[in-house]
Amino acid sequence: MPNRSLGPSGLLSLVVLFGVVLDQATKWAAFKYITDSHGSGKIAKLTSFLNLTLSRNEGGVFGVLQGGGVFFIILSVLAVFAIIWIYTKSAGADFLASVALGGVLAGALGNLIDRIRYGYVRDFIDLHIGARHWPTFNLADVLICMGVGIMVLNILSPRTQRSHSPQG
């Protein structure tokens, strides 16, 4: 019977491919269907705490350094190479590391594609409590945050701490 295991690099590749495709598809759908005849964004209210609101972010995270186009493209390319380097140096990366780094890489690539193609990142998820809104974000941002969160939890897990502690 053939081995059905993807292996760590196959899993990473699958997470990256799925993440980038899903990110780009959701951005395409949001920007195609949540616009008026003038192409400006309007708000689609989904729940009492979630709207779909089109936003064009020419800056970094949370909209800092607006207009930093080339700077953020270079920074994104460096981040992609750093993630790949980290992955190659973590020989025999386990399941969680592959999923986590795959999510971060997918998110970085998804936003890099936007920066190169449009000159800005397409954001559309608007979480809020009443009038207090979190900065608008997209699925690529979710993938990055989830990947980093998985890495942190994996590092802090008792299993990981035991495997790095000296043998008595």
Q: Which residues are catalytic?
A: 123, 141
Taking phi first (over 0 means left), then psi (-120 to 50 degrees means alpha), and beta for anything else, what does residue 124 get?
A: alpha
Under 8 Å between Cβ of 107 and 142: yes
Looking at residue 104, its amino acid is: V
Phi, psi of 65 (to 5 degrees): 55, 50
Residue 87 tokens read as 């992955």
In 3D, which of 76, 87, 86 has the Cα closest to residue 11? 87
Helix (H) or strand (E) holding 122: strand 121-129
